[in-house]
Every structure is written in structure tokens, then in C-alpha cells.
Amino acid sequence: MVRGKPNLLITGTPGTGKTTMSSALAEATQLRHVNIGDLVKEKNLHDGWDEEFECHVINEDLVCDELEDMMEEGGVIVDYHGCEFFPERWFDRVVVLQTENSILYDRLSKRGYTGSKLTNNIECEIFQTLLEEAKDSYQEDVVVAMKSDSIDDIEKNVADLTDWVASWCTTQSVESDSNSMRD
């Protein structure tokens, strides 16, 4: 089945601005923003609490089952700091947000992150872990890295992605028109 609207995955290290940008993009495009962390808590899609990493251990199968119908319909912005367990066919665009290390350090410190929780996340950003994961999991032309150091960056990214969504919808409707003419 062909989707009428595209699905986007917004990923990146914690603190790079996924939720901030996804909600601005949802407002600009009228697509639906799904924050996986919130969904997991609301619907109990986890296998308990991880003391070491201080987070829920998400149950990836339950999350995918919960999302399947919505993703098939299209028009969803998925916001999560991981990307390899979603089916590849779900996404038309995978955006990896990136933040300069010292800026990310300050953001995460402000949130109260300290010790290994802070350093693990900074290392994740230094090693571009999410970008590598995205490139390993999706086609090269689907994955795009975007800088998220400042508010101006958010505005630019939202504007660029809004244009991308509009042109995706136009192309899709031209293709479905020509398909129906052929039928």
C-alpha cells in the first residue's frame, strides 16, 4: 500500500533536540508527532526499569506492534534515540540530529546528568553512534544528518524538512495519478 503522507524518524543522542524539533515540525506540517519514550511509559511497552542506565527497558516488539497501523497510514514523525529496531520500510526520511560536544555537555549537565550517564551520552555523540546506526539500517539516500546547536538551526531544519514533506506529497500524488491513468 502506498502512503499518502511520508513518515520521518528523528533520531540522535539524548539532548540533541529531537523532541523540540519534532514538535515544531509537527506544528508546521500537521504530521503526527510520536515520542517513543512517552508512548512506552503511557502504554507500558517495557520490561521494567534499568537501574544502571536509569531508564525503562523498552520492549521493541511491543513498540513496533503498537505503531504498525499508524505507520502504514503515514504522516508520522517518530522521535527516538535509537533507530535499528524499526522496520526499514516504515521511513521515507531518517534525520540524525547532531550537536557540538561542549554545547551538548552543557545541555545534559543542565538536565542534571552527571557521571557515567553524562559521559556515555557525550561519547555516543563523539563517535557518531546514531549516524552509523542509521546508515547501517536504512538506504543511504534516506538518511540525513542535521546540525542542532542553536535555535536558528532548529528553525532552518524545520523549514528544510517542511519543504521536503511538501515535495514528497507532490511527487506521490503525481505518481499515483499517472498510475491510475495507466490502470
Ligand X SMILES: Nc1ncnc2c1ncn2[C@@H]1O[C@H](COP(=O)(O)OP(=O)(O)OP(=O)(O)O)[C@@H](O)[C@H]1O
Query: For residues 109 and 11, what is the distance between their CA atoms, to the nearest angstrom?
Result: 20
* Edge-first strand listing for the sheet containing 32-35: 32-35, 76-79, 8-11, 93-98, 143-147
Piece of 17-25, 115-123, 128-136, 139-147 that binds Mg ion (CB under 5 A): 17-25
Minimum CB–partner distance for residue 12 and ligand X (Å)? 6
Does residue 19 bind Mg ion (CB under 5 A)? yes
Does residue 151 bind ligand X (CB under 6 A)? yes
Of 3 and 147, which CB lies nearer to ligand X in the complex structure? 147
The correct pick among 153, 156, 164, 169 for binding ligand X (CB under 6 A) is 153
CB 107 within 8 A of CB 13: no
Phi, psi of 32 (to 5 degrees): -95, 125
Q: Which does 148 bind (CB under 5 to 8 A by kind): ligand X, Mg ion, none?
A: ligand X
Closest CA to 99 of 134, 131, 146: 146
At 130, list the grid cell.
546514531
Binding residue ranges for ATP: 15, 17-20, 111
Binding residues for ligand X, rule: CB under 6 A, are 12, 14-20, 37, 81, 107, 148-151, 153-154
